[in-house]
Structure 1
Amino acid sequence: MRILALDTAGSAASVAVLDLSGGVAAAGERLVVRFDPSPTGHAERLMTMITEAIGDLSLVPADLDRIAVSLGPGSFTGVRIAVATARGLAFALSRPLIGVGSLEAIAAASRAAHPGLPVIAAIDAKRDTLYLQGFDHAGAPLGPARAVPLAEAAALVPAGAVLTGSGADILADLSRRAGLATGPVEPGRIVEAATIARIAAARTPEPVAPEPIYLRPPDAKPQKRLPGLLAPGS
């Protein structure tokens, strides 16, 4: 199985091609990752990153078996870029498209580093809000991804849970103030396309295309009509 995975939901862009045709063991897999830390220009560079990653394994797009993409939450524009690109590739190649939540991907990487512990993935959504989702020690979600006000976030943290993601430090501080003991804190964890690819390899494709996870409306609002200007159609 060969999987192309994309992520532009956060401040960086990443692409991974995971080739498991030699077996699922680490010795039998091939993995290429392209990573761009720039917070802008993802739409312009994503297809180049995809082409380079596929070519590095001496493959062509038709060799891919699945397309995987991070669904968010995250940057509204970034989520749209990756999902639209993944949908286009899946349609053009007649391949299944598998969506993976950004919080799920962050939590999966932390769970691998801290087996046996529950994990709370937290993304700093600004405006006194965290995007949160919890997972038990086996990786099963404790509930859906949510946009949670800071004042309510600590109450959702199980005792001893690993806190991970860009909002981990914020959540750890809130938990300490509430007198709650947490497990390891990993604020440096971000969504990685390689993790998305591994999750997608083990997932059965759904018959319906996955939808983005936005959790709240975009920050940008349509401009109001300036005084003295005619409304459209006037």
Structure 2
Amino acid sequence: MRSLVLNAASLGPSSTGDVAAFNGRRLVQHDRLDGIGATGALPAKCRDMIRDLGWKNGPDLIIAVLGPGSFTGLRASLSLANGLAFGFGARLRGVTTGACFRTRLGWENTICVTQARRDRVFVEWPDGSFWAGSPAECPVPEEAILVGPGSSAVSPPGTDHPQVIWTGGPDIAWVLEAGLLSDDRSVLSPLYIDAPEAKLPARGLRPAPF
């Protein structure tokens, strides 16, 4: 089975994302997305990858990370995933960042922490529920095991608890594995813990030009 896997949940000025192709569970091509302009390169990256691999009929399965994460990164990657799935007739699946980590043996009960704006964090509990707030108010127990790019924010330096075992994003192979364990969807929607900041202009949209 040919799978195209996208993770742009954390794209921003100093973060990275991933686009990868798999045959079964074998990684055949992997491209990193770097920096704030990477979202604009997503369509071309996918187009070139599909072309270079000779996938004339496209992927059989498309898997994308739903969030939590960057508003722009999620909108861009999930819109692309939806469009590719529709165009190629591919199956479509979405996974959360925490679900990707929990595919690892021994990490089934880890707590995933993602850094958010304004000195806040998003916490994904093992049961799939979420919490958002200041790191100082984060209700993570001392015996917890933390993963994710925001985990060091809720574990003060020099302390043993909570234990941090992974401070980056999930490996692209873990995203694939989480997707293989998920159900098909007709469309993917971003997982926003906070309401998106983007709003319509107060006086509405401008009229179309003549």
Q: Which amino acid aligns with 1:54?
A: I
The 3 A distance-change label for structure 1 pair 31 and 202 is: farther
Name the SS of the counterpart of 1:92 in structure 2: helix
Report the alpha carbon displacement of residue 116 of structure 1 after superposing the two structures with TM: 5.7
Question: Distance in 1 between the 2:73 and 2:158 partners?
Answer: 30
The 3 A distance-change label for structure 1 pair 3 and 217 is: same
> Which residue of 126, 130, 133 maps to 1:145?
130
Q: Which amino acid aligns with 1:46?
A: L
CA contact 1:120–1:134 (8 Å) conserved in 2: yes
Is the aligned partner of 1:214 residue 2:192?
A: yes
Is the aligned partner of 1:190 residue 2:169?
A: yes
Name the SS of the counterpart of 1:3 in structure 2: strand
The 3 A distance-change label for structure 1 pair 175 and 50 is: same
> Which residue of 49, 54, 72 maps to 2:50?
54
Question: Distance in 2 between the 1:87 and 1:119 partners?
Answer: 30
> Which residue of 181, 194, 200 maps to 2:179?
200
Name the SS of the counterpart of 2:155 in structure 1: helix
State TM-score, norm by structure 1: 0.73
| Aligned 1:27-46 pairs, distance under 5 A | 29-43=26-40, 45-46=41-42
Structure 1 stretches lacking a partner, 5+ long? 136-141, 226-230
Q: CA RMSD in A?
A: 2.9
The 3 A distance-change label for structure 1 pair 41 and 183 is: closer
Residue in 2 that maps onto 1:138? none
Question: Distance in 1 between the 2:102 and 2:108 partners?
Answer: 11
Is the aligned partner of 1:157 residue 2:141?
A: yes
Report the alpha carbon displacement of residue 63 of structure 1 after superposing the two structures with TM: 4.4
CA contact 2:82–2:188 (8 Å) conserved in 1: no
State TM-score, norm by structure 2: 0.81
Residue in 2 that maps onto 1:17? 21
| Aligned 1:61-72 pairs, distance under 5 A | 61-72=56-67
CA contact 2:97–2:112 (8 Å) conserved in 1: no
Question: Distance in 1 between the 2:107 and 2:150 partners?
Answer: 22
Name the SS of the counterpart of 1:170 in structure 2: helix
Residue in 2 that maps onto 1:139? none
Report the alpha carbon displacement of residue 2 of structure 1 after superposing the two structures with TM: 1.3
Question: Distance in 2 between the 1:125 and 1:211 partners?
Answer: 19
* Greater fraction of residues in strand: 2
The 3 A distance-change label for structure 1 pair 70 and 127 is: same
Residue in 2 that maps onto 1:128? 119
Identity over aligned pairs, percent:
24
CA contact 1:87–1:97 (8 Å) conserved in 2: yes
Residue in 1 that maps onto 2:7? 7
Which has the greater radius of gyration? 1
Report the alpha carbon displacement of residue 215 of structure 1 after superposing the two structures with TM: 1.1
* Greater fraction of residues in helix: 1
> Which residue of 168, 174, 191 maps to 2:151?
168
Question: Distance in 2 between the 1:158 and 1:31 partners?
Answer: 40
Report the alpha carbon displacement of residue 61 of structure 1 after superposing the two structures with TM: 4.9
Structure 2 stretches lacking a partner, 5+ long? none
CA contact 1:16–1:197 (8 Å) conserved in 2: no
The 3 A distance-change label for structure 1 pair 219 and 232 is: closer
CA contact 1:169–1:185 (8 Å) conserved in 2: no
